Amino acid sequence: MSHILSTSDINFYRTHHYLHAKQVVPQEVLDLGRTIISRWVDELINKWVEKGLIHDTLPDLDFQHRLVKLWNAAGRPKYERSPRRDLVGPDMYSFLAHPRLLDLAADLLGTDELSVHGIFNSRPKLPDQKWTDTPWHQDAQYYRDAEKVHVVSIWIPLQKVTEHNSCLQVAPDLFTDTLLSGHDDEETGFLGLSKEDAKKLRAVSIEMEPGDALCFTQLLPHRALPNRSDAVRWSMDIRYEATSQATASGKAQGFVARSLIDPDSVETYKQWEPKWAHIPRGGY
């Protein structure tokens, strides 16, 4: 029995390997995402102040424009384009273990025995930045032990996303059952599909509203379009897997998030946090 998705939604996901789930993410989750990201932005801006790149931190500027305004003022310095370690804390744990997101993952994975996969990201997608344009890729190219194991990715934008400000595109027709070799993208350094394979894909743009979630399997090819707006496009992308099939890459920095069979196996923040002790802040 599903928690929040209809039978037709689940069947669509199983057939096409993705689902645009509309209005499934509550406002409190979006607000928590903003809190997590805003803390990281403050830390990044403070580093620019310490280096003498900026002096006024523009604390009253809105969430979507503050970072890009200060990035330009600082001379467009490089920064961590895929922060993960720096987001670890009680709020990130609460985000990953939110009951609504676990319900969504349970519907897609077909089980309530759920583990959070330890690879997650928040994407600060600034305008006019080629090096943050993620090329066509499969998520499992980054954790190849999931080639035969279902890991569901859930991509959550924190504002309306369109083709203009970098929505995602998916390609549901090819390679959804095959893990391809990873190729380093020459322009961005991201891992992705070869140019020859990418040319075979049929792109479907997924424009979304706040509260929507884009869910897809570990093998579905997808990419982010360039951000041609004047604001930052913020998103959170997180992953879940069935605990009984949890991968080594998922368990390394992941945790058991829900279990109806063995509730005592669910890991607390105090149990999760030490898994990051050997990874320095600023690390991926």
Tokens 């009253």 locate to 60
Task: List, in sequence order, every beta strand (DSSP E) within the chain.
Answer: 18-21, 114-116, 121-125, 151-157, 168-170, 183-184, 191-192, 204-206, 213-217, 222-224, 233-242, 255-258
Which of 230, 226, 231, 239 minimizes the C-alpha distance to 135?
A: 226
What's residue 165's pLDDT? 95
Q: What is the fold of 7-275? A: Jelly Rolls (2.60.120)
Using DSSP, state whether 39 is helix, strand or coil: helix
Please enumerate in sequence order all residues whose Cβ is within 8 A of that of 125, keeping only pairs 6 or more positions apart, or say none: 132, 166, 224, 227, 232, 233, 234, 235
What's residue 233's pLDDT? 95
Which of 189, 181, 153, 178 minimizes the C-alpha distance to 168?
A: 153
* Contact of 264 with 200, CB cutoff 8 Å: no
For 21, 58, 75, 87, 101, the CA distances from 239, given in Å and listed in that order, are 15, 34, 34, 15, 10
What's residue 129's pLDDT? 82
Give me the half-sphere count of Cα atoms (radius 13 Å) on the Cβ side of residue 243.
19
CB atoms under 10 Å from CB of 215, counted, come to 24
Provide the residue type at 234 as one letter. W
For 15, 34, 101, 193, the CA distances from 177, given in Å and listed in that order, are 11, 35, 25, 14
How far apart, in Å, do the first and last CA atoms of the chain sit?
Answer: 37
Give 10-residue mean pLDDT values along the chain (284 residues): 92 97 98 96 95 96 95 91 90 98 98 97 87 88 94 97 97 91 80 91 97 98 95 96 97 97 98 94 67
Class of residue 213 by CB neighbours under 10 A (exposed 0-12, middle 13-18, buried 19+): buried
d(CA 149, CA 138): 14
Which of 34, 141, 132, 142 minimizes the C-alpha distance to 87?
A: 34
